[in-house]
Chain A
Amino acid sequence: MSTVPALELDDVSISYGSVPAVRNLSLAVGKGEIVGLIGPNGAGKSTTLHTITALARLRSGDIRLHGSSIVGKKPEAIARAGIALVPEGRRIFAELTVEDNLRLGVIGRDGRAGVEEDRRWVEELFPVVKEFATRHAGVLSGGQQQQLAIARALVAGPSVLLLDEPSLGLAPTIVDVVFDALLKIRERGVTVLLVEQRAQRTVALADRTYVLTNGELRMTLTPADADDTERIIAAYLAS
């Protein structure tokens, strides 16, 4: 890759106390790419996302956004630098309205420039957030909440979007909505790092999918591997 990647993890190691969670992980996500990160439970996928967003502490290595290190920054500073996370379990503010959830999404933006435009685009992508704007987010269905969580991340106008198992617990039709939205998000130039359990769909969708087991990068898969179930299973069992 000749140009600077949007997001780059360089020899990243993370541990919880003395227990290593991620070991010497290096990966790069180019601008406008969708990169998948799959692997069994406990492989370190969520930990990796938490470390990028400074919710977990890096033990060694470097994380760079458009070439500059973001290590040591606070979570809010990383959000303001242009990385948005759609957390596992959605983490919407159930007691606030859908509108207030979206207003919070805009908090990290520098000025008003582009806010209206992004807002309109997000409402086109997920019409439910406009339809139910005045409702409390907690009364939405799981699928609607997930759409709100992604919409909330997108109104921040991020350059990099991280998603932590966005399809978890969703009905198949909603999973389609989410995966289709990811393609449109890429079309808009947003770089996507997708952590998923749905291995095959992720491999098919992403430009590249990394397989993480036991905190180590085992394999890189491309969409050509999507139908090679055996190879995906083998990658999971490689530990």
Chain B
Amino acid sequence: MIHVQNIIDAIGLGAVFALIAVGIGLVFGVLRLINFAYGQLIMLAAYALAFTDSWPDAASVLAAVLVAVAASLVMERIAFRPLRTADPSTMLVATFALAYLLENAALVQYTYRQHGIIGDPIGTLAQLNQAVTIGSLHVRWVSILAIGTGAVSLAALALLLNRTSIGLQMRAASMDFRTARLLGVRADTVIMASVAVAGVLAAVAAVVLSIGSASVTPTTGLYETLFVLVGVVAGGIDRLLSATLGGFAIGFAISIVGAELPSSGETPFTSNLYMPSVIYLAVIVALLLRPAGLFARGGPGSVERV
């Protein structure tokens, strides 16, 4: 039964990582930009939860969504838009800069608040850390919430992309932005829509992650995003679906490896201390076998090599 519980927890983390992957993939689709500062949007949303801890849960969650969306839009306006025609590597470095800026801003504020400990508690929806017992199965509500919100968010996004005009424009822009503009698709509108949706997804991820960790620090969201980026690239960043599956897979793998392997052991690869090594080894093998991505559709020629 412990294995089933581990699998459910792993699906839960996979779902959160899938949401982060979609947030990164959406922005990549329209801007051809990997936003390394995405983790800091999660961090900002988590701080919004911490600073509104005394509010009702719903209001606190709403504040987190508003903060993440606003931060995402500001990021686009001040950093991505002026660099839109710049070299892709310039934009990439700019997102690194943003990531460190935000992380360090979060760190510095503790000095001004004269807060001795780095980190703030988050009590929002803390009751979901309790387990529900089904037969002999103990599943934490937060895992169920993660799976549920993951499924609902992805379904809502699919509806947005497939059933609305702005969704059609976002899809067209991610396939061929130039031609889309020739048809009258407004570049700024489509990019802002994508960035705003990415912000909402960051907030959702922040809420679910914060319930589990019950706190926020300047590095909240950082490691999750790094892992997701690896998953997204391994899955295939060119398509939203393959990127999402890549994010899910790495979240699932991290959770299951962490839970199934013992926490200590002498022999290499027998304890979850080796978890990152195992995951990255799998990623290397995946990329060697399928350079375009594990879940990418393209056959030969989809990745050009010199």
Contact = CB atoms under 8 A, between A and B. Distances in A.
A191 B182 CA distance: 17
A107 B169 contact: yes
A74 B184 CA distance: 10
Give the size category of B's interface with A: 10 to 19
Contacts of A107: 165, 169, 183-185
A109 B165 CA distance: 13
B187 A104 contact: no
| Residue with the highest number of chain A CB atoms closer than 10 Å, among B168, B175, B182 | B182
Contacts of B182: 53, 55, 75-76, 79, 84-85, 87, 91
Interface stretch (A23-31, A92-100, A111-119, A229-237): A92-100
A100 B176 CA distance: 14
Interface residues of A, number: 24
Contacts of A84: 182-183
Contact of B175 (A55, A95, A108): A95
Given A104-B168, A104-B169, A107-B165, A91 B184 contact: no
B180 interface: yes
Nearest to B180: A104
Given A93-B172, A96-B172, A108 B179 contact: no
B181 A75 contact: yes
A84 B184 CA distance: 9
B186 interface: yes
B178 interface: yes
A152 B168 CA distance: 15
Contacts of A104: 168-169, 172, 180, 183, 185
Contacts of A105: 183
Nearest to A79: B184
Q: Interface centre among B178, B181, B183, by most A CB within 10 Å?
A: B183
A42 B144 CA distance: 61
Interface string A173-185: 0000000000000
Interface of A: 53, 55, 74-76, 79-80, 84-85, 87, 91, 93-96, 100, 103-105, 107-109, 152, 156
13 contacts: A75-B178, A75-B181, A76-B185, A84-B183, A93-B176, A96-B168, A103-B165, A103-B168, A104-B183, A105-B183, A108-B184, A109-B184, A156-B183
